Amino acid sequence: MMSANAPLVSIKSLRKSYGPYIQVLKGLDIEMKPGERVVVIGPSGGGKSTLLRVMMGLEKIDSGSITFGGEPYISSKGSDKKTVIDTEVRRSIGMVFQHYTLFPHLNVTQNLILAPCKVRGENKVSATKRAHALLDRFGLGAKANAYPAQLSGGQKQRVAIARALMLDPKLMLFDEVTSALDPELVAEVEQVILQLAAQNMPMMIVTHDMWFAKNIASRVIFCAGGVVVEDGPPEQVLGSPKEERTRDFIDRVFHIRH
Amino acid sequence: MGYSFDFQSIAFGPLLDGLAVTLQLTATANLIGVVLGFPLALLIMSRFAPIRLPAMLFVEFFRCTPAIVQIVWFFYCVPMLFNVFLGSMTMGILALGLNLMAFNAEAYRAAIQAVPREQLDAGIALGLNPLQRTLYIVLPTAVRASIPVLLTNGIGIFQQSALVAIVAVQDLMYQAKTLATETYRPIETFTIVALVYFAVSFPISQIVGFLERRRQLMMS
């Protein structure tokens, strides 16, 4: 059972490598409280996206464990270090990807109701009703019957967020969701995520957009070389970082933006 | 050259009969190829070698030998080896159908493997189990993606079907050869026959082009 004080997510000594030589996560420890909005920043190849993919249960791990809401979620067991993922727990987590990943053969409504109908056995009428309400909320009511190819990048990404929300996730993961967008479309997607933040949806966000990070984060983690380098409130990590490596990174990022 | 053309003496009746046989061959071979090509594609993608290897051997046999050899082999060798003869039409259909099945299996396989990994990740993130991911994401996407290639293979077999004339199936080509010999009018006969093959194939190849352009638009 989820108790009020228990961490929502608890990641312990998480290690992950691709092949024998490329270690991406080198013993990560992160504890996330309910209601927190964690933004993960850091240089490319630092393990940010891998962390989110592992949390979504999309990757095998080498060692370590993750609990969710106090329940065991991901661990590596036995002598062959087999990754064990509790798929029931996984259903409480929603994820939005960089490249939209809408199903091209289904229209917007069908994209939204596929999982509720097939995974949860919800009937089509009630799922459709919920889908349309959600689309209206995100300003996409007119696109309910459009196909993904007929949408702009910003619209696709908002649909992808709505699709994840259809399953009432208790945690949302956003993996560079605005990186593939044209600059003028970034704001509409970030607005939707800010709207979710206003409703206290717990989330973990990987982004390169420092303005967005500052506005949405309740906590910022700077991740580099597969470990957590700095972890704290946004004012600290983004404003006056303690660690040399964080400072270097922040300086470079903001330099480019000036 | 001094050759005077005479299209009057070409009897269209036998040619139309031949075309009907050719279309029947094509339709049946396509039915076999489109339907059975899919399970064959699943077999050649099996992780289990005793299933995968024979299926691959079957596909490679048809891809790496000339169609005319396959037809002759079916017509002469199958009856001798297995002591069955099913009639030249059936043998022709079998040879063309199995040939198309092998090529279509490759088309399906390529389309299935071309489904982006991210689509499957999205399916996992939405809680779909492996069977649901296959049914609702991989299959619809892959079948749509393979349609242009299936159509191209389909017209290919329509043209290849002319080869069965050599084993006395009375298709368009067989009727044309007979007619040309009887009338001493090979130029007229074969020109007409070429135009007939063209008239059937060309619109379909145009449709393929249209589908491919539309698909590129859908993917962008």
For residue A104, list chain B residues with Cβ-Cβ distance below 8 A: 141, 218-219
Q: For residues B34 and B48, give the distance between their C-alpha atoms in angstroms, rounded to a whole number.
A: 24
Tell me what ipTM this predicted complex has.
0.90
Contact A36, A11 (CB under 8 A): no
> How many other β-carbons are positioned within 10 Å of the β-carbon of residue A248?
13
Q: Supply the pLDDT for residue B1.
A: 64
- Considering the entire predicted model, what is its pTM? 0.80
- What is the overall mean pLDDT for chain A? 90
CB contact (8 A) between residue B128 and residue A99: no
Instruction: Grade residue A258 by pLDDT with cuts at 50, 70 and 90.
Output: very low
Token pair listed for B154: 């389909």
Residue pLDDT tens, chain B, 220 long: 678 777 777 778 888 889 999 999 999 999 999 999 999 999 999 999 999 999 999 999 999 999 999 998 888 888 888 888 788 888 889 999 999 999 999 999 999 999 999 999 999 999 999 999 999 999 999 988 899 999 999 999 999 999 988 888 888 898 889 988 888 888 888 999 999 999 999 999 999 988 888 877 776 5
Extract the tokens encoding A16. 């992950």
Distance (Å, rounded) from C-alpha A222 to C-alpha B173? 74
CATH-assigned architecture of domain B12-219: Orthogonal Bundle (1.10)
User: Which pLDDT score, from 0 to 100, does residue B50 have?
Assistant: 94
Nearest to B122 among A53, A97, A118 (CB): A97
**Whole-number pLDDT of residue A115:** 95
Is the CB of B140 less than 8 angstroms away from the CB of A105?
yes
CB A52 within 8 A of CB A95: yes
Distance from CA of B132 to the nearest CA of A (A): 8
Which of A58, A105, A119 is the closest to B128 by Cβ?
A: A119
Q: Which residues of A touch B141 (CB under 8 A)?
A: 103-105
- pLDDT for A221: 94
Sequence spans of domains, chain B: 12-219
Torsion of CA B32, B41, A99, A142, to 10 degrees: 30
- In a mutational test of the A interface, the residue from B126, B128, B138, B215 whose CB has the highest number of chain A CBs within 10 Å is B126
